[in-house]
Structure 1
């Protein structure tokens, strides 16, 4: 699952933008560490604490297409995993950490609404719970995603942005690199990050040990 939805413990225009980005990144780093905390009633998919389902050497992926106009997401589908879910905008909490959907909405995906819109240039962030105390949640099977699989995001104007998964990585919470996870790999591309808990669940600390991060980029649209 992702972070609990309740409260957490506790110049020039360019400079202001840089400071705002630094604060956001700091909050997202905190979120990346705390994203592993929660009920943990089920065993999450076994992913281990080291990365990645890398792309097999020499296996081509389709070229990126030009970014689209910025439009809000409404639904996300990953056909290869049987995932279809509504998407709701989420913001940051008082500490600057991203606020995921509440546990009462385990099959809803949260989109960081102050960030990039899926299909626009940059990296759009989608987060979802892996489980609740009693059942799997929307991103329970996310660690089984594979490079080359498609992710489709239906947007509020009715258009469907199709992304191709580039890689799947597991980032240990003790060595979480927010810039590597949340930053765009190519600022001119439209990219997507789908994030949930991974690794193993420790009932003593009530945390998971890692985050599963699926990276994808825009390859098709109407």
Structure 2
């Protein structure tokens, strides 16, 4: 599909992300995805998939939540992601506003929700592709339980999360609580979200959302001599 033929907008992430905002107690007016580039097929197969946690994968104990501090950078070594984190709010439809397409290698943090490392489930969103090339979360669906996700925070500390679940949720029959709800109370958790499934050219959106869940397992603080 050429650039002229593609619908415009940032809606590929919006269906699932709108529900995420609802879970945080905000009233949203726009619950339907609009449109998006769809320059590449998302690197997942089918509308429904669940990697989950394979048997035999030993995961470390959770670290207690720490003080809320704004995130600045996201690193996922297993898929080569190192990206700045930018705060994002709601767009004019009332849905979470992902980074603009002019910033395809950036990750958006929903700044009205939990801060990474603090109690709750922090939401980070990124595009899977642009009109011409893969974007920051193109390989997100290949992350597996046990992988490390590191968030550098504004105070210089690094919150390290361990992935414990990877799911692909279809737009139809979407369960926001299962996708974005806190898995364990009093735990610092992370959700990394992008588009998945197939690109529906007629609707102008992907058919699913990839949701990687992780929980805090270590914190490194900056020390001065």
Q: Give the TM interval when normalised to the shorter protein.
A: 0.7 to 0.9
> 1:23 aligned to 2:21?
no
> 1:93 aligned to 2:91?
yes
Structure-1 separation of matches of 2:215 and 2:190 = 6
Structure-1 separation of matches of 2:87 and 2:189 = 17
Contact 1:197–1:210 (Cα < 8 Å) also in 2 = yes
Structure-1 separation of matches of 2:108 and 2:132 = 21
Contact 1:40–1:131 (Cα < 8 Å) also in 2 = yes
Structure 1 length normalisation: TM-score?
0.85
Contact 2:23–2:176 (Cα < 8 Å) also in 1 = no
Q: Name the structure 2 match of 1:66.
A: 64
Gaps of 5+ in 2: 1-8, 15-21, 221-225
Say what the alpha-carbon RMSD is for the aligned residues.
2.0
Give 1:185 shift: 1.1
Q: Name the structure 2 match of 1:50.
A: 48
Q: Name the structure 1 match of 2:185.
A: 187
Gaps of 5+ in 1: 9-18
Contact 2:107–2:126 (Cα < 8 Å) also in 1 = yes
Structure-1 separation of matches of 2:132 and 2:125 = 20
Q: Which moved more, 1:154-163 or 1:48-57?
A: 48-57
Equivalent residue runs for 1:102-113 within 5 Å: 102-113=100-111
Structure-2 separation of matches of 1:219 and 1:94 = 36
Q: Name the structure 1 match of 2:207.
A: 209
> 1:4 aligned to 2:10?
yes
Equivalent residue runs for 1:33-182 within 5 Å: 34=33, 37-182=35-180
Paired residue secondary structure (2:55): coil
The change in CA–CA distance for 1:93 and 1:158 in structure 2 (over 3 A counts) is same
Structure-1 separation of matches of 2:175 and 2:206 = 17
Q: What do residues 150-169 of structure 1 show as CA deviations (whole Å, max 9, x unaligned)?
A: 00000000100000000100
Q: Name the structure 2 match of 1:14.
A: none
Give 1:21 shift: 4.3
Give 1:48 shift: 2.2
- Structure 1 runs of 4+ aligned residues shifted over 6 Å read none
Paired residue secondary structure (1:176): coil
Paired residue secondary structure (2:149): strand
Contact 2:86–2:106 (Cα < 8 Å) also in 1 = yes
Structure-1 separation of matches of 2:160 and 2:131 = 33
Contact 1:47–1:143 (Cα < 8 Å) also in 2 = no
Give 1:22 shift: 4.0
Contact 1:119–1:218 (Cα < 8 Å) also in 2 = yes
Paired residue secondary structure (1:219): strand
